[in-house]
Amino acid sequence: MSGTDTIAAIATGITNSGIGIIRISGDLAISVAEKIFKPLKENKKISEVKSHTIHYGYIVDEENIIDEVLLSVMRSPNTYTREDIVEINCHGGITVVNKVLETVLKNGARPAQPGEFTKRAFLNGRIDLSQAEAVIDVINAKNEYALSSSLSQLRGSVSEKIKEIRDIILNNIAFIEAALDDPEHIEMNNYGFQLLDTVRDIKQRLNELIKSSENGRVIKEGIKTVILGKPNAGKSSFLNAILGEDRAIVTDIEGTTRDILEENVRIHGISLNIIDTAGIRNTDDVVEKIGVDKAKAMAKDADLIIYIVDTSRPFDSNDMEIIDFIKGRKCIILLNKTDLENGMNSEDLKILESIDKAYIVKISAKNQIGIDEFENKIKEMFFHGEVNFNDEVFITNARHRHSIAEALKSMEMVEQSIENNMPEDFFTIDLMNSYEALGSVIGEAVEDDLVDRIFSSFCMGK
């Protein structure tokens, strides 16, 4: 990207703060800074200072001092964009930061577009596209797991996996093409069956990446969690208990909750997007029935259902309806009101214990008993206790998952061609399709409009 224009933007939040940073990148970054920076206790010009040094002085607009600043000089190629970069650290007031930026723009830079600094890092080869996308994921991370996963991808964890597979595919394409061009010197007898083991190994790797995307989505977006139970089972009391505040109305009157209530809570670094719903029961109340129907609709798309059982009352038809609904779903059954006299019988408990994929935890939402056990069960269910981002790669990006799935389809077609004893040139077509699909993950052979769309979602100054 030699000869690009010089861009500038505010790199910190647009609010009053202790420090504000204006970032400048491009061929004229240092000359622009030299026009507006007046150093103190130093006779050198900015164009003469060493790279990666910080200098104290004033930003001036002609003869007017705008602010007292620290100015960082970083010369290409050892910078974020692989271009010359200057960062001006000024006081963080909205007015002064904007005034400094205005002065920078007046002296030769133009306003940066959203994500343009990172886009230049990608186009200049400093990072690939998957790493660039991880930058915005770091900024938008909602929990510790999402942050750790994004940092792992920023370090190249996804890139390494993809490049390893692409290298294997490319080597086989090159061998087949060479053999087809020079059959007298390169033998291909039974090569298809030799390739079959490699194809199946690649399929397994791609399948593992695709499988990781479910946990990856949970890591990035949180667990979509719906609380179900019949009226007055203690759903709202439980929600208040894990939130640590009274967000839901709690009364002894059945049917108090008629609409959904959405909250977010972090448990052991995991985000739960919790939806409290109306109690499930047959009702003639039009408004309550709408709430019940909405509860069922929300639960159909949930990652996790929390079924709260009132242990002070025996099962009824409402409980049986919920039990039929949750069968085969990821579910935690909370036996609530354990502080009261037990109203359930042994047959009720057997029914609950027979539900596949369901875990049972005894709690008292009112007295906050059993909440710790519930929280530990969440971590165990979704991440098998621990997640190690040094060893594991999680696909958190829907675009990446789609491209990997496309690559897998092509590898399945290669496998089918081998099993059907097709000519070797059939193999190369689908091998190349798989190679290119994986290339789109890291930004090779991607359309310009896709690149523009990805970076347009970035914040200004990044």
- Tell whether the model's pLDDT for residue 276 goes beyond 90: no
377-388, pLDDT tens digit by residue?
887 777 654 444
Whether the full predicted model's pTM is greater than 0.95, yes or no, is no
Superfamily for 132-217+397-456? tRNA modification GTPase MnmE domain 2 (1.20.120.430)
User: Could you tell me the residue ranges of all domains in the chain?
Assistant: 7-120, 132-217+397-456, 224-383
Torsion (CA) 177, 128, 437, 195 in degrees, nearest 10? 40
**Which CATH number is 224-383's, of 1.10.10.10, 3.40.50.720, 3.40.309.10, 3.40.50.300?**
3.40.50.300
User: In CATH, what is the architecture of 7-120?
Assistant: 2-Layer Sandwich (3.30)
443-453, pLDDT tens digit by residue?
887 777 778 88
d(CA 351, CA 309): 12
Q: Omega of the bond prior to 77 within 30 degrees of 0, cis? A: yes
* Strand runs labelled E in 221-368: 223-228, 261-267, 270-276, 304-310, 331-336, 358-362
**Residue at 95: amino acid letter:** T
Burial 40-72 (b: 16+ CB within 10 A, else e): eeeeeebeebeeeeebebbbeeeeeebbebebb
d(CA 158, CA 163): 9
94-121, pLDDT tens digit by residue?
999 999 999 999 999 999 999 999 999 9
Helices (H) and strands (E) in the chain, counts: 15, 13
Q: DSSP labels for 197-235?
A: HHHHHHHHHHHHHHHHHHHHHHHHH-EEEEEE-STTSSH
Cβ neighbours of 185 (radius 10 Å)? 8
d(CA 287, CA 427): 61
What pLDDT does 258 receive? 42
Sorting pLDDT into bands at 50, 70 and 90, what band is 156? Answer: confident
382-407, pLDDT tens digit by residue?
765 444 444 568 888 889 999 999 99
5-19, pLDDT tens digit by residue?
999 999 998 888 899
**357's torsion region: left (phi>0), alpha (psi -120 to 50) or beta?**
left
What is the chain's mean pLDDT, rounded?
84
- Give the mean model confidence (pLDDT) for residues 344-350: 82
d(CA 288, CA 294): 10
Tokens representing 450 are 């896709």
d(CA 216, CA 382): 11
Q: DSSP labels for 105-151?
A: HHTT-EEPPTTHHHHHHHHTTSS-HHHHHHHHHHHH--SHHHHHHHH
Cβ neighbours of 322 (radius 10 Å)? 26
Burial 127-142 (b: 16+ CB within 10 A, else e): bbbbbbbbbbbbeebb
Tokens representing 55 are 């200098």
- Maximal CA-CA distance, the chain: 88
Task: Tell which residue, 358, 436, 408, has the closest CA to residue 211.
Answer: 408
- Tell whether the model's pLDDT for residue 302 goes beyond 60: yes
Contact residues for 122 (Cβ-Cβ < 8 A; gap 6+): 128, 129, 131, 132, 443, 451
